[in-house]
């Protein structure tokens, strides 16, 4: 069920009403939220609900097992076993086809025939998101950072529909306390919630959809038939498309949760203003970045060892982060690019520190050069992220070097304005945005309704007929 659809609007009207009617009654409220969330998830295929239920059962049982075990060795075994089962479920649905095809290619090449059966395993929507939430719950209990939740609380935590399909990846310590307490409808900032929802709809339905149809899809589909300028704008355009698509989803999810009385963590912070890749990953998909840092990079050793170990840990984290996004060599390559870029930055900083060199003199020119180069490197990665195969990605990059001087009919003034304007908006100071939101919140209800109505009219007018699924739904 897509957020920007009539089906979801009707569903949310029911969910909103049920949420506040049952708010005083904890048990019925939790049961209702679980049922509504399973209806939401099962809208595209009821069999997927069995997977969500199985993941919930494994994680809850694993957390209880870890908490009930007194000796440290037993706790570690319980944690590893539980996480192993969760990763096994994820691996079967998401990576079996990728591994089996590549293994089959290798065994055929060396004359051993077929090594494993080639099965078509359907990828359940959002499996990566709720699996990572389940894993963090078990590990946090093992680390004694979280107490086991009650069964209904945990079932709501995993299945809560605003975050279910594409995050944010909410930790147990962030969401479980909110599930346990009664919410006050008088404390909800409804104007901010509607602001976020409409901003997200505009990003997704208008900007992301337009850039996709105007430049990204045509150029990526047949890169050799387009000019260098069109190839460049396709790469930049996909950077804008995926940002508006995913941050738009996040805005909607945070706004919907706020209407129900819940606060989700921030997931984006003007990522294209970053001055290096490390800074970019502090700003892009922030809940995933923190997850990879806390549950993969730091357990691997982080930067506590030598330079070689640190580079290894960065590369492993980013390559596995690439594979998290999809079972394809394009995602592996994308993750490796991120790892190489971050490793280079780390080694450069460490080298200057080791040689006792003073910090490089900073200034606006240097800052803008860093932002420009970081954005180009990020867009280079996006080419592989969006490509259907490595050959398509390299073909598009090849046009950047060989297609100058050719006609570029797709690079229209409207496209240039949309791409560059969207990037420029990220440099608007957050305080200015907060003041604008606050000014909107202070308006009379009739004025707010008028503004929201006009914004919704703009979304429906400038948006396409029908809405494509959010990009991150497939992860």
**Alpha carbon distance 57, 306 (integer Å):** 40
Residue 46 three-state SS = coil
Rounded CA separation 154/146 (Å): 12
Residue 359: its pLDDT value, please? Answer: 73
Distance CA 251, CA 464 (A): 20
More confident residue, 118 or 81: 81
| Cα dihedral value 5, 7, 13, 18, nearest 10 | -140
Mean pLDDT over the full length of the chain: 90
212 pLDDT above the threshold of 90: yes
pLDDT value of position 464: 74
107-116, 277-286, 413-422: least confidently modelled range: 107-116
Q: Where are the alpha helices (DSSP H) in 355-410?
A: 364-386, 390-402
Q: How far apart are CA 464 and CA 415, in angstroms?
A: 16
Burial 373-409 (b: 16+ CB within 10 A, else e): ebbebbbbbbbbbbbeeeebbebbbebbeebeeeebe
In this predicted model, which residue has the larger pLDDT, 101 or 171?
Answer: 171
Q: With 90 as the cut, is the pLDDT of residue 363 above it?
A: no
pLDDT at position 475 is: 67
147-164: per-residue pLDDT in tens?
Answer: 999 999 999 999 999 999
Q: Determine which one of 163, 226, 285, 325 is catalytic.
A: 325
Q: What is the mean pLDDT of residues 239-267?
A: 94
Nearest to 48 by CA among 107, 117, 130, 110: 130
**pLDDT band at residue 140 under the 50/70/90 scheme:** very high
What average pLDDT does the segment 18-47 reach?
93
pLDDT digits (tens, 9 = 90+) for 54-97: 999 999 999 999 999 989 999 999 999 999 999 999 998 888 88
Q: Look up the pTM and report it.
A: 0.91
Cα–Cα distances in angstroms (integers) from residue 369 to residues 237, 372, 422, in the given order: 20, 5, 19
Between 316 and 438, name the one with better pLDDT: 316
Q: How confident is the model at residue 109 (pLDDT cuts 50, 70, 90)?
A: confident
Secondary structure in 3-state letters for 59-121: HHHHHHHHHHCCCHHHHHHHHHHHHHHHHHHHHHHHHHHHHHHHHHHHHHHCCCCCCCCCCCC
Neighbouring C-alpha atoms within 13 Å toward the C-beta of 11: 22
Q: Which stretch, 186-200, 327-341, 423-437, has highest mean pLDDT?
A: 327-341
Give 464-469's long-range contacts (Cβ < 8 A, gap of 24+). 464/205, 464/209, 464/210, 464/213, 467/2, 467/4, 467/5, 467/204, 467/205, 467/209, 468/209, 468/212, 469/2
Would you state the pLDDT for residue 115?
65
Stronger pLDDT, 123 or 248, i.e. the higher one: 248
Active site residue 325: yes
On whether the CB atoms of residues 325 and 305 are closer than 8 A, the answer is no
The continuous run of DSSP H or E covering 198 comes out as helix 190-201
Q: Decide if 100 contacts 116 (C-beta within 8 A).
A: yes
How confident is the model at residue 239, as a pLDDT? 96
Per-residue pLDDT at 103: 82
| CA–CA distance, 443 with 147 (Å, rounded to integer) | 43
> How many C-beta atoms surround the C-beta of residue 466 within 10 A?
9
Mean pLDDT value of segment 213-217:
95
Query: Is the dihedral angle over the CA atoms 138, 143, 148, 149 positive or is it negative?
Result: negative
pLDDT at 472: 73
- Residue range 31-41: mean pLDDT, rounded: 96
What's the CA gap between 386 and 215, in Å, rounded? 13
In DSSP notation, 116-162 reads S--------TTHHHHHHHHHHHHHHHHTTSSPPPPHHHHHHHHH-HH
- Which residues neighbour 136 within 8 Å (Cβ) at sequence distance 6 or greater? 169, 171, 172, 291, 294, 295
| CA atoms lying within 13 Å on the CB side of residue 25 | 10
**323-to-99, 128, 235, 307, 319 alpha-carbon distances in Å:** 12, 11, 21, 24, 6
CB 233 within 8 A of CB 419: yes
Report residue 70 as tokens: 């007194």
Residue 442 has pLDDT above 90, yes or no: no
Q: What is the CA radius of gyration of the chain?
A: 24
How many residues does this entry show for the chain? Answer: 475
What are the tens digits of pLDDT across the range 301-354?
A: 988 888 999 999 999 999 999 999 988 999 999 999 999 999 999 888 888 888
Cis preceding-peptide flag for 280 (omega within 30 of 0): no
**pLDDT value at residue 443:** 79
pLDDT at position 298:
94
Place of tokens 């308006």: 443
> What is the predicted pLDDT for the residue at 4?
77
Residue pLDDT, tens place only, 396-422:
999 999 888 898 999 999 999 999 999
Rounded to whole angstroms, how far apart are CA atoms 310 and 353?
16
pLDDT at 116 over 80: no
User: Which two tokens mark 97?
Assistant: 């086809």
Average pLDDT over residues 261-279: 94
């Amino acid at each position: 069920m897509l957020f920007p659809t009539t089906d979801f609007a009707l569903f949310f009207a029911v969910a909103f009403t049920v949420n506040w009617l049952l708010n005083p009654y904890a048990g019925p409220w939790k049961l209702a939220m679980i049922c509504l969330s399973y209806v939401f998830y099962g809208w595209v295929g009821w069999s997927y609900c069995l997977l969500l239920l199985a993941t919930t059962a494994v994680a809850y049982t694993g957390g209880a097992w870890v908490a009930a075990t007194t000796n440290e060795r037993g706790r570690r075994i319980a944690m590893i076993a539980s996480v192993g089962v969760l990763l096994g479920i994820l691996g079967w649905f998401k990576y079996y086809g990728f591994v089996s095809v590549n293994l089959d290619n290798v065994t055929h090449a060396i004359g051993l025939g077929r090594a494993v059966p080639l099965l078509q395993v359907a990828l359940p929507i959002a499996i990566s998101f709720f699996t990572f939430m389940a894993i963090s719950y078990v590990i946090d209990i093992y680390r004694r950072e979280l107490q086991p939740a009650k069964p209904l609380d945990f079932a709501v935590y995993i299945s809560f529909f605003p975050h279910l399909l594409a995050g944010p990846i909410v930790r147990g310590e962030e969401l479980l306390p909110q599930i346990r307490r009664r919410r006050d409808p008088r404390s909800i900032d409804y104007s901010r919630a509607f602001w976020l929802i409409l901003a997200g709809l505009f990003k997704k339905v208008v900007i992301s959809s337009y850039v996709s149809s105007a430049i990204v899809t045509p150029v990526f589909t047949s890169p050799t038939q387009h000019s260098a300028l069109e190839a460049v704008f396709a790469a930049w355009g996909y950077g804008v498309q995926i940002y508006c698509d995913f941050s738009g989803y996040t805005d909607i999810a945070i706004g919907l949760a706020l209407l129900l009385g819940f606060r989700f963590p921030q997931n984006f912070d003007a990522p294209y203003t970053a001055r290096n890749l490390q800074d970019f990953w502090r700003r892009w998909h922030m809940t995933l970045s923190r997850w990879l840092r806390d549950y993969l990079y730091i357990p691997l050793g982080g930067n506590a060892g030598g330079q070689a170990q640190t580079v290894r840990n960065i590369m492993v984290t980013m390559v596995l982060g690439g594979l998290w996004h999809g079972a394809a060599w394009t995602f592996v390559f994308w993750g490796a690019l991120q790892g190489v870029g971050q490793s280079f930055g780390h080694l450069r900083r460490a080298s200057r520190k080791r040689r006792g060199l003073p910090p490089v003199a900073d200034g606006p020119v240097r800052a803008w050069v860093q932002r420009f180069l970081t954005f180009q490197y990020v867009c280079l990665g996006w080419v592989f992220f969006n490509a259907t195969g490595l050959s398509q990605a390299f073909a598009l990059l090849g046009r950047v070097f060989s297609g100058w001087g050719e006609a570029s009919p797709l690079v229209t003034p409207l496209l240039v304005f949309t791409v560059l304007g969207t990037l420029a908006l990220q440099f608007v100071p957050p305080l200015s945005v907060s003041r604008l939101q606050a000014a909107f919140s202070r308006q009379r209800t009739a004025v707010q309704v008028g503004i929201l109505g006009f914004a919704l009219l703009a979304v429906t007018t400038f948006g396409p007929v029908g809405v494509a699924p959010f990009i991150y739904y497939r992860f």
